Structure 1
Amino acid sequence: MFSIAVDVRNRLGECPLWCERTRRLYWTDIEGSALLAFEEDNDVVMRWSLPERLGSFALTEKPGVLLMGLASRLGFYDLNTRIFTEVVSSPGTAGTRIGDGRCDRSGNFVFGTMDDGDSVQTIGQFHRLNAASLEVETLPLPEVAIPNSICFSPDGGTMYYCDSMQGRIFCCDYPSFENQRVFTETEGKGAPDGSCVDSQGYLWNAEWGGSRIVRYCPDGTIDCILPSPGIQTTCPTLAGEAFTTLYCTSANVGLSAPSRHDGALLKAETTVFSGLPESRFAAHRM
């Protein structure tokens, strides 16, 4: 079902975001310290080299400007001038870096920090960069080793998140953070990585090491499973003109004999599922 959309060799591809205004799909190669993009029906891959690893990012209301979560800081990046303007340093403890992140439905950027050492410890936390004040607050959620799966229900009332090391995806009421609960437990050998939510409120999760993407019903039961030719799928998104094209990033880091699918941007056409436009960071000062 999946084919190669862009034949790249990302060490750690992550965070694919579709911009419906420019018809571009953006994603990061974290270990390559780069932002990549391509336009539909265009084989040209754009690449921006960055001063640090890019854990996650968000679209903004200002054309050509992204909010970036680099390893040690958050700030605005102008795609045309290639200038990064720091907003705030990472709120994580020493030895952590910024990882997964996504805007909530109100335009605030919710992100995680994680252990940046060789042996991953549970010292990461979830945070939120508030668009109105450009200040960071640490969220009342448990500490994590590898934060992932950050996404929100269509109405914004539920936040999904996980610690990939635990093999479970959690959710809570948002923005109160009440009713914290297990949404689902992954089956098989894969660990939950990045997620997105479609227009029906179903959650799509890519499994690291599981060679598959799973679509979960709002009650946490499995709706369908899409086998992937890539061993380490990292994050899905529904994109394209009608938000019906499923793209998924992947990684080849740590694989002794990666195939051409490992590290590539993968693609599958879905005729019955559709996605939602990404929420944009709503700051007025950029």
Structure 2
Amino acid sequence: MFSIAADVRNTLGECPLWCERTRRLYWTDIEASELLAIKEGNDAVMRWSLPERLCSFSLTEQSHILLMGLASRLAFYDLSSGLLTTVAASPGNTGTRIGDGRCDRAGNFVFGTMDDGYPVKGIGKFHRLNATTLTVETLALPDVAIPNSICFSPDSGTLYYCDSMQGRIMCCDYPSLQNQRVFTKIEGGGAPDGSCIDAQDYLWNAEWGGSRVVRYSPGGEIHSILSAPALQTTCPVLGGSSLHTLSCTSARVGLAEPTAYDGALFSIRSPFFAGLPESRFAAHKI
């Protein structure tokens, strides 16, 4: 059963990443424009305020530098000094913002853009920031309303992704983007949100509105379901020094009567599953 790892009551908690070098678990509260972190063995929450919404981010080869997917741009962020160095503007249509993102196994940052208005329209796209050239290319994948579930198989040969509005998780061969296909359809009452891959090549997905995290086999079948005390679970990550701790962010945005659990960071530890070290953005110059 999940326990509360950080009673932070985020408006829109997302994108948890484990850094094995600093033994920190980072995540963002998108609507609060804030980066948060806790260190293993210490429940004190560290916070960094940002000038705009932080929608996704990745680790880099320098432990004090993060690559940030802010609403309007990609930028390097120095955790020590607070210095932001813009890499590229958010690509795509006017009125969109950056959304979910994660590094592939080669160290390039794959991310989505989405409509920043309401109701959300399907005008977003998937993109990739090349770590060598620091240039952005738009990927030959379908347009998307709410991009999510971006993650990669351990052998780097499969990309997983979704449009949360469509109730299914997709996958394709990577990096060719060929053989685009349905990985799984969501059977519960929630929508697919963030995902991660474990060491056994199983996919963990948090269901927005479903109060649960679901583990899928490489063939897309449900292997196990973990119930969560928050309605809107947003993204899981496997971390901790042994990579046996599953943590999950959640959100309280849009809830008329949120509970004390909505918006918290949850965790559960088990010897029966293990994660993989997070891929880092592989730029040579930062």
Q: Which residue is 2:235 aligned to?
A: 235
> How many Å separate the matches in 1 of 2:149 and 2:74?
19
Number of aligned residues: 286
Instruction: Tell me, yes or no, if the aligned pair for 2:147 and 2:163 is still in contact at 8 Å.
Output: yes
CA drift at 1:285: 1.3
Given the two structures, how large is their TM-score scaled by the length of structure 2? 0.99
RMSD between aligned residues: 0.5
CA drift at 1:269: 1.1
Residue type at the aligned position of 2:46:
M
CA drift at 1:271: 1.6
CA drift at 1:122: 0.2
Q: Does 1:146 align with 2:146?
A: yes
Q: Which residue is 1:184 aligned to?
A: 184
Residue 248 of structure 2 aligns to a residue whose secondary structure is strand
CA drift at 1:231: 0.3
> How many Å separate the matches in 1 of 2:156 and 2:188?
30
CA offsets 1:143-188 (integer angstroms, 9 cap, x no match): 0000000000000000000000000000000000000000000012
CA offsets 1:195-249 (integer angstroms, 9 cap, x no match): 0000000000000000000000000000000011110000000100110000000
Q: Does 1:102 align with 2:102?
A: yes
> How many Å separate the matches in 1 of 2:229 and 2:47?
25
Q: Which residue is 2:260 aligned to?
A: 260
Q: Which residue is 2:126 aligned to?
A: 126
Q: Which residue is 2:249 aligned to?
A: 249
Residue 43 of structure 2 aligns to a residue whose secondary structure is coil
Instruction: Tell me, yes or no, if the aligned pair for 2:115 and 2:124 is still in contact at 8 Å.
Output: yes
Identical aligned pairs, as a percentage? Answer: 72
CA offsets 1:127-158 (integer angstroms, 9 cap, x no match): 00000000000000000000000000000000
> How many Å separate the matches in 2 of 1:246 and 1:254?
25
Residue type at the aligned position of 1:28:
T
Q: Which residue is 1:201 aligned to?
A: 201
Residue 44 of structure 1 aligns to a residue whose secondary structure is strand
Q: Which residue is 2:216 aligned to?
A: 216
CA offsets 1:248-272 (integer angstroms, 9 cap, x no match): 0000000011111100000111220
Gaps of 5+ in 2: none
Given the two structures, how large is their TM-score scaled by the length of structure 1? 0.99
Moved more, 268-277 or 203-212: 268-277
Residue 165 of structure 1 aligns to a residue whose secondary structure is helix
Moved more, 171-180 or 40-49: 40-49
CA drift at 1:92: 2.1
> How many Å separate the matches in 1 of 2:36 and 2:49?
9
> How many Å separate the matches in 1 of 2:262 and 2:83?
31
CA drift at 1:189: 1.0
> How many Å separate the matches in 2 of 1:92 and 1:23?
35
Gaps of 5+ in 1: none
CA offsets 1:66-114 (integer angstroms, 9 cap, x no match): 0000000001000000010001100021010000000000000000000
CA drift at 1:26: 0.2
